[in-house]
Amino acid sequence: MRRIIVLGSTGSIGTQALEVIRANPRRFELVGLAAGSNTEMLAQQAQEFRVDDTALGADEAQALVRDVEADVVLNAITGSIGLSSTLEALKAGRTLALANKESLIVGGELVLAVASDGQIVPVDSEHSALAQALRSGAKDEVRRLVVTASGGPFRGRTRAELADVTPAEALAHPTWNMGRVVTTNSATLVNKGLEVIEAHLLFDVDYDDIEVVVHPQSIVHSMVEFVDGSTIAQASPPDMRLAISLGLDWPHRVGGVGRPMDWTRPTQWTFEPLDDEAFPSVALAKAVGRAGSTFPAVYNAANEQAVDAFHDGRLPFLGIVDTISAVVDAHEPPDQLTVESLNEAERWARERADRLIAS
The mean pLDDT values, 10 residues at a time, for the chain of 359 residues are: 97 96 97 95 97 95 96 93 95 96 92 96 96 97 97 90 92 71 90 96 97 95 98 95 97 94 94 96 97 96 96 96 98 94 96 96
The answer to whether the beta carbons of residues 288 and 331 sit under 8 Å apart is no
Rg over alpha carbons for the chain, rounded to the nearest Å, is 20
- Residue 201 and residue 211: Cα distance in Å, rounded? 15
State the Cα–Cα distance between residues 56 and 36, nearest whole angstrom. 6
Write a three-state SS string for 56-120. Answer: ECHHHHHHHHHHCCCCEEEECCCCHHHHHHHHHHHHCCCEEEECCHHHHHHHCHHHHHHCCCCCE
pLDDT given for residue 176 in this prediction = 59
Q: Are 241 and 20 a contacting pair, CB within 8 Å?
A: yes
Q: Which domains does the chain have, with CATH numbers?
A: 2-123 (3.40.50.720), 131-218+273-358 (1.10.1740.10)
- What pLDDT sits at residue 79? 83
pLDDT score of 182? 82
323 φ/ψ angles, rounded to the nearest 5 degrees: -65, -45
Q: Show the CA angle centred on residue 22, arms to residues 118 and 236, nearest 5°.
A: 60
- Among 113, 52, 107, smallest CA distance to 85 is for 107
Q: Contacts from 45-54 at CB under 8 Å and sequence distance 24+? A: 45/9, 45/10, 45/18, 49/18, 49/21, 49/22
